[in-house]
Every structure is written in structure tokens, then in C-alpha cells.
Structure 1
Amino acid sequence: MKRLLMVSAAMLLAACGSEEQAPEPIRPVLSVKVQPQVQAQLGRFAGVIEARFESTLGFRVGGRIARRWLDVGAQVKAGDTLATLDPTDQQNQLRAAEGDLARVQAQWINAQADARRQQQLYDRGVGAQAQLDIAQTNLKTTGAALEQARSAKRQAQDQLGYSTLRSDHDAVITAWQAEAGQTVTAGQAVVTLARPDVKEAVIDLPIGVAEQLNQNLTFTVASQLDPAINTTATLRELEPQADPTTRTRRARLTLASTPPAFHLGTAISVTLSSPVSARSELPLSALLERDGKTQVWVIDTQQKTVNTRDVTLIERTDDSIVLASGVQPGEYVVTAGVNSLKPGQKVVFDEDAQ
């Protein structure tokens, strides 16, 4: 009986020893791979692709618009008809000018005949010098009136031609400022044409960002529908004054290249960045603060364990931190549960985490 008790006690002690020596369970953790950052982003802004060269056309005479021949978005060639006015007034002016010309031409023919007759009489010695002078003066006066009537007719013809608005270059219609049936004055804006061969990016920047623009900035222009379609750009023009309503300044960017998908009106996003000293950006949840130190948990990918590492903060936002030192590109940092880990603890993590 005594031996049985001793054996039972030995077994109990052995069981307790085995429980104390049991390894800690392997803990799954969320992690992120450290990526080097050599560009600091100043922000991302929405914009649009526009034509660098635009022109606004209007009729050179006033009148009522009879018809608009094309819609917004239509491509036109030089000489294509865009809109026409009711030509009644111009036609009446032309008919009046033609009538005046016919009347003056008849007067000029009579003046020529009279001048010849007076010259013949004078040459035969039966005509007076005064009558000849009057006839020649009348001929000159009538000739001047004839030239004036001809000019009036040409002007009336031009006025009739001006009642048709035509494109003066290959372009795309981007806007109409007048409708059919509307009465417009000479020179009033009617249609806006854009030349599609030279395009640029247009964005509105907050005043604070606009004041930070410099030659070291890099503008990355990408399609909002497909960010893989992108190019770089340089600042061509920055409006000197801010819009009083939005408090923004419009910037126009020259594209380094123009992808085929960048049609006029394409919605884009423009990222502003500038070169900075090497740094790393991590989620705010990766930061461990205790005993006055700022640390992160770094995973040993060979041993599958974690240990703390002191880091130097450059910037902290509501959801991220920027580190100047303490971690190396390619290392994995724990991003969740940082307050419940122990140095050397075994972990399992996703090596494809980004």
C-alpha cells in the first residue's frame, strides 16, 4: 500500500512538471511588410483632361439663330457649318445694295456718254469749255458713286455670309452658349471649340497646397476609372488669384505623354509628391508605446518569433505613422494586438502581407 502511494505521488509530480514545461501556443498575427518611401505625398486631387487651346466663336452680325447643326461632342473640320441665323435681314440688305448699284451704273453710263459728247463738241469748236468741265466732273463723281455702290454690295454679300457660323479649324464642340430661336448680337459667344491634338490636365488646388508648389514636385496623372493608365506631368500655369467661392487656385499641367484613353473630359486623379529622405509608413495600430519608448514588434521570419524594436517617429496621423529609423525594407511588423505579445513569442503570419 505504501509503495502504491509513492508511485502515485511520483506520477503526480511528473505530470505537474510536464505541465510547467509545455511550450506556449503559436499565435497568429496580422502584419505588414515594410516598404521604403522616398516620395512624400502632398495630396491627391480630382481633375479633368481638357484641351490646351480653346476658342469661343460668335456671329459677326446680329440676328435670330435659325438652326444649330451639331451637338456638344461632335468633331468638326475647318469650314464645317455650326449654326445659321435667319438670313432675311441680310438678304434684304443685299437686294437693296444691288438695286443701288444698278441705279448708279446707269448714271455712270449716262455720264460717260455726256462726257464723250461734250468732248466731241469742244473738239469741233462748237462746245463750251464750261460744259465740258461740268460733264467730266459729273463723270468722276458718278464713278466714285459707282465704286461706293460696288463696295456696299460686297459688304452686303459679306453680311449675308456672316449669317452662317463656320469652324475655322479642326476641333471638338465642348459647349453651346446659345440656343435655336435665341436672338444674339454681333460678337456674342455662341459655341466653344477645343483642339483635341494638344491636351492637358486641369486641377483645383487648395491655397495652402498651391503655395508649396516648386520645381521638385512630381505630378502623377491617372485615370479615375483605371489607375493603371497614368503619366507624369509638369506645372504649366497656376492662376495667380484664388476663386473667391472655393478658395482654390486652378493649375494646368503639361502631360509628359498622352495615353489614348485620355479623351477630352476624362476624369483623372493627380497625386503630388516630392523627394524626401528614406522613411517608412506603417499603420497606427503597429505602434507600441510604453516606458516612454516608441516601439514596434518585428517578426523574425526565420525563427517565426517577435521582438520589440525602438523606432523614431517623424509623423503621426489618425491612422498611420511615419518612421525615420528602426525598421528595414522587407521586414514584417505586427499591426494588431501589440500590447499582448511577449518577446520571443512564436507567431504565424501571412508572408504575402503588404
Structure 2
Amino acid sequence: MTVKLLASACVLGAGLLLAGCGSQEEAQSPAPRPVRVVTVEKAKTGRSVSFTGHVEAQDQASLAFRTGGRMIERTVNVGDRVRAGQVVARLDPQNALATLRAARAALAAAESQLATATNTFERQDRLLASGFTSRANHDVARSGLQAARSAVDNAEAQVRIAEDNANHTELVVDAAGMVTARGAEPGEVVQAGQMIVQIAREGGRDAVFDVPEQILRAAPASAVITIALSGDAGVTATGRVREVAPQADPVTRTFRVRVGLDNPPDTLRLGSTVTGQVRLDGIAAIEIPASALTAANGQPAVWVLDRETSTVSLRNIEVESFSQAAVAVASGLAVGDVVVSAGVQALHPGQKVRLLGAGS
């Protein structure tokens, strides 16, 4: 009797233990996480894309001296406005003036030699006509005259060069603008052609962007681009593409695009960061909400739902463009894929989810 009671007690205890383990396992099993999803569709619709760039002058020139020497003065600094004809720097003129004096002295000597050679030839010419000199002496006099004339021509050319160098010891601005950079300081010995100051000339400004090839192909011809100052969206301007780089950047694989601004406000200063927006019409593309975007392995990614198992997995994608509201996907998603659009921060691969709502 006692043995039967002990056996019954053991069986009952084992049953209670198993029941308790099952309840613990059920309590530890996490509930499916609630998420919202969108179904990927590809439609041919117009959309807007935005890019960040900066403002540059349409025409920018580096001013330099034509000759080398010691710079004794620079009258402008970065940020100064200059006018056409203004002197912005000077070289020590002593060497140039000494060279000019030497060239003029050489010209005077050559002219004196020419006068002597001319008299000699004329005398030999008269003697030859009278028969009192030989043809050989006449030829020598002719050669001397030609050499003297050549020496004078050379000396005159050297004088012109020396005068030109002396006149260019002052660096003069040829058009109004603003100084954007300086390349030498007073007291330095500069070389011919070395940049002294860089001038952004007045008359036009560009907004410069680095644009992917897909957008270049999709953008309509003569599209109007809206430009806004990044720090103040109320400062805007419009423009059209003025120049597209013929070759892509070897690192980013984007093309440098310059947009000529139409009557830009003064607050769009050189170097300002701007945002350019253009509308692309009739482009077939996959778009997902910006909230669906996350990262995996250092690359853009999204959580994709498997409807059969109600689990999610990470998938890397290639982003074509993005805005604050949406992301245009170049590759990585197909029509019909279900992407998590809300709740992406707390997910892990293989996790079960529960749909709060679905949209497309």
C-alpha cells in the first residue's frame, strides 16, 4: 500500500513539474513585435530629387606677375572687393629698370654701328661706281650694313621687352570682383606665373552639385532647378544647367554639374551651402518611406517580411536618391516585396512580427 502511494506521488510530482516547465517556456517565448509595412510597387510617376552643393563664381581668375622678383606690396586681402584697373600688388622695380637701361644703351650702340656701316657702304658704293675699289670690298661693306641693321632690330626688340617687364611690376585687375584667395605675401620672391591673388569676377554665380548618372539621364532638358540656402530656406533662386562634366569622378562616380543662377540674391554668397531640387517626370522607380531605411554591414538596408512565416530579414539596397520623406531605390528590392516601414529599430533577423497595418 505504501509503495503504491509513493509511486502515485512520484507520477503526480513529475506531471506537475512538466506542466510547470511548459508554462515557463510559454512565458519566456517573446510575443511577435508589432510593425507597419508597405508593399513595394513600381510606378511611372513624376518625383522630385534634391542634392546638396555650394555656390561658386562663374568666372574665377588667378592673377600673377609676368616676371619674377621680390614682391614689396599687396594691397588686398581675402574678401576685399576690387575694381577694374586697381593695382593689387607690386614687385621691386629696380631690376626691371636696370634691365631697361641696359637695353636702351645697347640700342644706342647698335644705332651708332648702323650709322658707321651705312657711311662705309655708301662710300664703297661710290668708289665702285668710279672704279676705285674692288667688288670684294663693296661686298664686305654691304654685309656690315646688313649686320648692323639686324643688331638694331634686335636691340629695339630687347628694349620693348624690357619696357614691358618694367610696366608689369604692378599687378592690375582687369575686371571687378572679389578676392577669394592669396598665394604670396609681401617680401617673398615670386616666380613668373605664380598665383598672387584669386579673383571671383562679378557677373554670375553657379550652384555646383555632384549628381549620379541615373539622375542626369532622367532629368528633362532645360529643367528649371530650384536653389535654396541650406541655413535659410526662405532664400531661394532658380537656374538651369550650364555645364556638365564630361567624365565621372573616379571615386564617387558622380558628375559635376554647374547650374547658372538667375538673379541670385546677395545672401547667396560664394561658398554658401545650398540645396537644389528638380522634378523628374515619367520615371519608373521604386520608392519606400524614409522611415524604412536602416543599415547593415555599413550599407543601406531594409527589413523585408516573409508573409508565410511572419518573420523579417535584413536586405541591403542601393539608394538612388532620397529626401526627408522618401527613398528612391536603384536595386535590391522587387515589386511585391513587403518592407517594414515602422518599428525597424528593435528588430533582429528571424524575428516574428505582427502587422499593425499595411499600405502600398
Does the TM-score normalized on the shorter chain lie above 0.5? yes
After TM superposition, the score normalised by the length of structure 1 is: 0.58
The offset of 1:251, in angstroms, is 3.3
Following the alignment from structure 1 to structure 2, what is the Cα–Cα distance between the partners of residues 42 and 282? 13
Cα distance in 1, alignment partners of residues 213 and 226 from structure 2: 16
* Matched AA of 2:215: Q
Distance 2:83 2:99 in 1: 30
Among 137, 143, 160, which residue is 2:143 paired with? 137
Aligned residue type for 2:54: V
Write the distance in 1 (CA, Å) between the matches of 2:250 and 2:78.
Answer: 27
2:248 to 215, 226, 241: 241
Pick from 268, 273, 281 the counterpart of residue 274 of structure 2: 268
- Corresponding position of 2:59: 53
The 2-side partners of 1:118 and 1:157 are apart by 38
Deviation at 1:204, TM superposition (A): 4.5
The residue number in structure 2 matching 1:170 is: 176
CA shift, 1:317, in A, is 6.0
Q: Give the CA RMSD over aligned residues.
A: 3.7
Residue 108 of structure 2 is matched in structure 1 by 102
After superposition, what is the alpha-carbon deviation per residue over 1:256-295, rounded to whole angstroms, capped at 9, x for unaligned? 4423443434443334554589x9x9999xxxxxxx9xxx
Q: Is contact 2:50-2:275 (8 Å) kept?
A: no
Q: Which deviations, in whole Å up to 9, do the C-alpha atoms of 1:117-136 show, x marking residues without a partner?
A: 33333444434433333222
Partner of 1:75: 81
Q: Given the alignment of the two structures, is residue 215 of structure 1 paired with residue 219 of structure 2, yes or no?
A: yes
1:175 alignment partner AA:
A
Q: Does the 8 A contact of 2:56 with 2:207 survive in 1? A: yes
Aligned to 1:190, the other structure's residue is in SS state strand
| Alignment partner of 1:187 is 2:190 | no
Does residue 156 in structure 1 map to residue 136 in structure 2? no
C-alpha distance in 2 between matches for 1:125 and 1:318: 119
Deviation for aligned residue 1:93: 1.8
Summarize the Cα distance change of 1:249–1:316 in structure 2 as closer, same or farther, 3 Å threshold: farther
**Which residue, out of 72, 84, 88, partners 2:90?**
84
Q: Measure the CA separation in 2 of the matches of 1:273 and 1:318.
A: 31
Unaligned segments of structure 1, at least 5 residues: 1-37, 285-291, 293-312, 320-338, 340-354
Shift of 1:67: 1.4
Return the alpha-carbon distance in structure 2 between the equivalents of residues 120 and 179 of structure 1.
65
Residue among 310, 329, 341 paired with 1:316: 341
Question: Greater shift after overlay, 104-113 or 126-135?
Answer: 126-135
Separation in 1, partners of 2:173, 2:277 = 37
> How far is the alpha carbon of 1:145 from its aligned partner?
0.8
Q: Tell whether the 8 Å contact from 2:51 to 2:209 is kept in structure 1 after alignment.
A: no
Q: Residue 221 of structure 1: SS of its match in structure 2?
A: strand
- CA gap of 1:124–1:212, structure 2 versus 1, over 3 A, is closer
For 1:97 and 1:164, locate their aligned partners in 2 and report how far apart those are by CA, in whole Å.
20
CA-CA distance at 1:142 after TM superposition: 0.7
| Equivalent-residue separation in structure 1 for 2:290 and 2:248 (angstroms) | 38
The reply on whether 1:119 has 2:128 as its aligned counterpart is no
Change in 2 beyond 3 A, CA 1:247/1:66 = farther
Q: 1:151 to 1:317 in 2, by over 3 A?
A: farther
Gaps of 5+ in 2: 1-44, 293-306, 308-337, 345-355
2: distance between equivalents of 1:317 and 1:192?
A: 51
2:341 counterpart letter in structure 1: R
The 2-side partners of 1:107 and 1:177 are apart by 47
Does the Cα contact within 8 Å between 1:82 and 1:166 map onto a contact in 2? yes
The residue that corresponds to 1:63 in the other structure is 69
Task: Name the CA distance, whole Å, in 1 between partners of 2:175 and 2:290.
Answer: 53
CA distance in 1, matches of 2:131, 2:51: 99
How many residues were matched structurally?
Answer: 250
Distance in 2 between residues matched to 1:187 and 1:282, nearest whole Å: 51
Structure 2: which amino acid aligns with 1:89? Answer: N
Instruction: Determine the structure 2 residue equivalent to 1:232.
Output: 238
The 8 Å contact of residues 230 and 275 in structure 2, kept in 1 or not, is answered as: yes
TM-score for both structures, normalised by structure 2: 0.58
> Once structures 1 and 2 are overlaid, which stretch shifts more, 59-68 or 77-86?
77-86
Per-residue deviation at 1:113?
A: 2.0
Q: One-letter code of the match for 2:106? A: D
Contact 2:241 2:257 in 1 (8 A): yes
Percent identical pairs in the alignment equals 29
